[in-house]
Amino acid sequence: MVETPTPQDQAAYVPADVPLRELAEQHGLHIGAAVSAHPLRQEPAYALAVTHEFNMLTTENAAKFGPIHPQPDRYAFADADTIVDLAAAHDMLVRGHTLVWHRQLPSWVENGDWTRDELLAVLREHIHTIVGRYQGRIAAWDVVNEAIDGREMRDTIWQRVIGPEYVDLAFRWAHEADPDALLFYNDYGGEGMNKKSDAIYDLVKGMQDRGVPIHGVGLQMHVTAGGQPPAENLRRNIERLSALGLQVHITELDVRISGEPTPAKLQQQADTYRQVLDVCLETPGCKAVVLWGFTDRYSWIPGAFKGYGSALIFDESYRPKPAYQALHEVLARQPNE
Ligand code: G3I
């Protein structure tokens, strides 16, 4: 449960003289964070840090199917609107996350007894409504999230009822609703060179061969301190995707620490952040690095990985950690330095 912030906490973020976004802009890179509407509305420090440091925002949960479309005939846009409006007011791009996933589905979808045609109609209407509403305001969409399990298509309601064509159709419908939005396939565990990234490569190449409008691949990158893929493998994977003409975004970077965050662990974490950003900056196809949150005050890690935490670049009181300094140093290098 999120604790009610104290006034002291609210004052804790001290705006950096030279924020990350200012440095990133000289490289033509987007640096972002996934955010939630509740602290954006409730906590001035949260909103101040986000708008000062980043030039890209991802809707962490607000635009997922369950939260935004809780009933067949009811949409709940307020949280996504908060994020999109804030971004527009501060000259930030938005990544919309996500149109088709097997988690955080509303029960009316999950428990419906659908024919193929019925579920196709549901998905088409959902995508047209959401992408249409934010046309011109959400620059990039994670259209399909985590559709691959190992080397195969994941067994989901979409796969079972519609079949693998749901992926192509989702991209086509998103493109109809906003022809200018960049459309991404997003997944985890396929950041370096491995069987999963091979399967992702085959999927997106196949989509291109079929004329499906796809513009990028999102590499989530939820890793442990020191557990990132070797830099050379990350680079090779980004390069083979960009050789297809696709953009790559690092979409959900966080670096979890086991147990107490000692100075040595925080340094190892900083080195991991540094290495990932380094590879992205050096590899032309990599256009954005988005963190999955930015403050340890709000992170999915402690709830999902027992004994792990402290995964982000600001601590729970919005103080920058060594990982923040590492990103700052990498971005402070002159382009081509
Ligand atoms: O909003 C409800 C609240 O109304 C309810 O009372 C409460 C009770 O559990 O739950 C709240 O929803 C939670 C939601 O986060 C918002 O806090 C869900 O239970 C919880 O499951 C959900 O977790 C999210 C998780 O996706 C779900 O799979 C995390 O915040 C979110 O960070 C995480 O994000 C995913 C990406 O979308 C895809 N890649 C992996 C990444 C990490 O799992």
The gap from C-alpha 206 to its chain's centroid, in whole angstroms, comes to 23
How is residue 293 written in tokens? 């949150």
Question: Residue 222: beta bridge partners?
Answer: 254
pLDDT tens for residues 20-33? Answer: 999 999 999 999 99
What would the 3-class secondary structure string for the chain be?
CCCCCCHHHHCCCCCCCCCHHHHHHCCCCEEEEEECHHHHHHCHHHHHHHHHHCCEEEECCCCCHHHHCCECCECCCHHHHHHHHHHHHCCCEEEEEEEECCCCCCHHHHCCCCCHHHHHHHHHHHHHHHHHHCCCCCCEEEEEECCEECCEECCCHHHHHCCCHHHHHHHHHHHHHCCCCEEEEEECCCCCCCHHHHHHHHHHHHHHHCCCCCCEEEECCEEECCCCCCHHHHHHHHHHHHCCCCEEEEEEEEEEEECCCCHHHHHHHHHHHHHHHHHHHHCCCEEEEEECCCECCCCCHHHHCCCEECCCCECCCCCECHHHHHHHHHHHCCCCC
Amino acid making up residue 209: D
Nearest residue (by CA) to ligand 1, atom 25, is 300
Ligand 1 lined by 60 (C-beta under 6 Å):
yes
The overall average pLDDT reported for the chain is 96
- Nearest CA-CA partner of 146 in 189, 201, 111, 104: 189
Q: Rounded to an integer, what distance in angstroms lies between the CA atom of residue 46 and that of residue 6?
A: 13
pLDDT tens for residues 288-336? Answer: 999 999 999 999 999 999 999 999 999 999 999 999 999 999 999 988 7
What pLDDT was estimated at residue 6?
A: 53
Q: Rounded to an integer, what distance in angstroms lies between the CA atom of residue 61 and that of residue 65?
A: 9
What pLDDT was estimated at residue 118?
A: 98
Amino acid making up residue 104: Q
pLDDT > 90 fraction of the chain, expressed in percent and rounded? 95
What pLDDT was estimated at residue 3?
A: 52
Nearest residue (by CA) to ligand 1, atom 36, is 60
Ligand 1 lined by 305 (C-beta under 6 Å):
no
Ligand 1 lined by 79 (C-beta under 6 Å):
no
How is residue 324 written in tokens? 């923040």
Nearest residue (by CA) to ligand 1, atom 17, is 61
| Exposure b/e, 292-322, CB count within 10 A at least 16 = b | bbbbbbbbbbeeeeeebbbbbbbbbbbebbb
Whether the CB-CB separation of 12 and 45 falls below 8 Å is answered with yes
Å from CA of 61 to ligand 1 middle = 6
Substitution site in 36, 292, 300 for ligand 1 pocket (most atoms within 8 Å of beta carbon): 300
The pTM (predicted TM-score) of the whole model is 0.96
What pLDDT was estimated at residue 334?
A: 81
Sequence-distant (6+) residues with CB within 8 A of 315 are 295, 296, 297, 321
Which residues are marked as active site?
A: 146, 252
Q: Rounded to an integer, what distance in angstroms lies between the CA atom of residue 291 and that of residue 294?
A: 6
Whether the CB-CB separation of 124 and 162 falls below 8 Å is answered with no
Amino acid making up residue 321: K
pLDDT < 70 regions, the chain: 1-11, 337
